[in-house]
Amino acid sequence: MFADLDNELFPAGVTRCSLSKFLLWLAFIGLFFLWGLYAAYVILSNGLGMSNLDNYFGFGLWITFDLAVIALGAGAFFTGLIRYIIRIDELVKIINLTVIIGFICYSGAMLVLTLDIGQPLRAWFGYWHPNVHSMLTEVIFCITCYCIVLIIEYIPLILEQKQINSVPFLHHLAHNMHVIMPLFAGLGAFLSTFHQGSLGGMYGVMFGRPYAFREGFFIWPWTFFLFILSAVASGPAFTVLVCTFMEKLSGRKLVSFKIKSLMCKIAGSMLCIYMVFKILDTWAWANGFLPSVGMTFDQMFFEVIYGKWLMFVELILCGVVPAIMLITPAIRNTPALLYIAAGLDCIGIIVNRYVFTVQTLAMPVLPFDKWFTYAPNWTEIASSGMIVAYGFIVLSLSYRYLPVFPEEVKLNK
């Protein structure tokens, strides 16, 4: 009986796995979620001392995780911008997925941040006592506002669920929300651009930290612009990877390869622009700024853990290489190579966020200090895993019950 009821909730014309199989899947994901929930309880009840963070590494896995998922979730605002403002209508076939991924990434990042700050009950102080000079204030404002925009973008999709949509009022509400969606796409693009930039700006303004500090334009350090570019260069590629992963898991075609290729073409183009500026920025930092504060390029690296190999992985293997692969039609139109390039692109951006977060703090600025190293402990890993599990659950439920992919029925005939 439950299975029949469940069937009635599916989008029109699609097939889904059995209810028992789906519940088993949710239970499996739920284990990771519960483990993370326990870790969160340990942190919140005992204090941040239960993590592996310390006075040298005030930022660690959580901030890296936050910055990485926010960059990878940039597919939502950038695809929305292209779809609704620039009007590339083909992207309508993948836009719903970008919104869901964006929502997961941003809401997940906010959950992690409540763990990461020492006084979570004071999180609203960012609004009440804002410091207009702090990049983090801007991040707090834009992330929370943009998360609301993503919820507004997600609601019409929920309202299109078969049973909900049979209620005339909700049907019309969903329709009208779709009509005004370009407004929210524009608003989302504005908010997201600024906080992606401010996340980069957060590091770029740290003039006491030579590894991260950058000169810039007006009040914005170059990292402000680089973080925006790297986010739009990786967000669409991440959406394609998630979509493909869902296809492998469900055994169904969800989006045509043409659309994936288009998404990756957009990502690749942005990655090319990003890499030009990133390499220029790195060169100027190494040859201009560092000598001006009495430091050398070699001083920025330490043994294997914070070695130069990380920089080469970020800039060459996961930067220049995927950029070339993604803008070369012959490579981009070969599925396996497209996925490899998209994967490298995403890894490159994750490495970038990691080194800016951890290596910045690991590098001894005082001449008589030494390098320290950081590795997260189980509480940090489990709670980050909880967010990944949360993402899996939201995505699984959305895929099963909501008409996420307009082309699914046609592609699987």
Partner 1 sequence: MSEFKEFATKWGLVVDLDKCTGCGACMISCQVENNIAPVVEASNKLRSLNWMWIFEMTNGKAFPENDAAFLPRPCMQCGKPPCVSVCPVVATDKNEEGGIVSQIYPRCIGCRYCVGACPYHARYFNWFDPIWPEGMEKAITPHASTRPRGVVEKCTLCHHRWNYAKEKARQEGKDPSALPENAYVPACVEACPTGAMYFGDLKNPKHKVHELAKSPNAFRLLEKLGTNPQVYYVSAREWVRKQGDNQLPAKEKA
* Token couple for 34: 């519960």
Nearer to partner 1, 55 or 166 (CB): 55
Shortest Cβ 114–partner 1 spacing (Å): 10
Distance separating alpha carbons of residues 360 and 72, to the nearest angstrom: 21
Nearer to partner 1, 66 or 408 (CB): 66
Assign 363 to helix, strand or coil: coil
Nearer to partner 1, 11 or 204 (CB): 204
The residues binding partner 1 (CB under 8 A) are 46-49, 53-59, 116-119, 122-123, 125-126, 128-131, 133-137, 139-140, 202, 205-210, 219, 292-295, 360-361, 365-369, 372
Q: How far is CA 197 from CA 34, 272, 361, 405, in A?
A: 34, 18, 20, 31
Nearer to partner 1, 130 or 186 (CB): 130
Shortest Cβ 108–partner 1 spacing (Å): 18
Q: Are strands 220-221 and 216-217 parallel, antiparallel or unpaired?
A: antiparallel
Nearer to partner 1, 198 or 398 (CB): 198
Nearer to partner 1, 123 or 310 (CB): 123
Contact yes or no for 204/222 (Cβ under 8 A): yes
Shortest Cβ 311–partner 1 spacing (Å): 20
Shortest Cβ 323–partner 1 spacing (Å): 30
Shortest Cβ 125–partner 1 spacing (Å): 4
Nearer to partner 1, 32 or 57 (CB): 57
Shortest Cβ 221–partner 1 spacing (Å): 9
Nearer to partner 1, 163 or 292 (CB): 292
Contact yes or no for 189/182 (Cβ under 8 A): no
| Nearest one of 273, 245, 260, 275 to 334, comparing CA atoms | 260
Shortest Cβ 371–partner 1 spacing (Å): 12
Shortest Cβ 378–partner 1 spacing (Å): 17
Nearer to partner 1, 7 or 292 (CB): 292
Shortest Cβ 51–partner 1 spacing (Å): 8
Nearer to partner 1, 158 or 295 (CB): 295
Amino acid residing at 53 = L
Assign 299 to helix, strand or coil: helix
Assign 221 to helix, strand or coil: strand
DSSP letter for 302, please: B
Distance separating alpha carbons of residues 113 and 100, to the nearest angstrom: 20
Residue 118 phi, psi dihedral angles, 5° rounding: -70, -30
| Contacts for 400 with CB less than 8 Å, ≥ 6 apart | 9, 10, 16, 22
Shortest Cβ 286–partner 1 spacing (Å): 16
Secondary structure percentages of the chain, helix, strand, coil, to 5: 75, 0, 25
Residue 412 phi, psi dihedral angles, 5° rounding: -110, 15
* Token couple for 159: 């309202």
Helical packing angle, 181-204 and 222-250, nearest 10°? 120
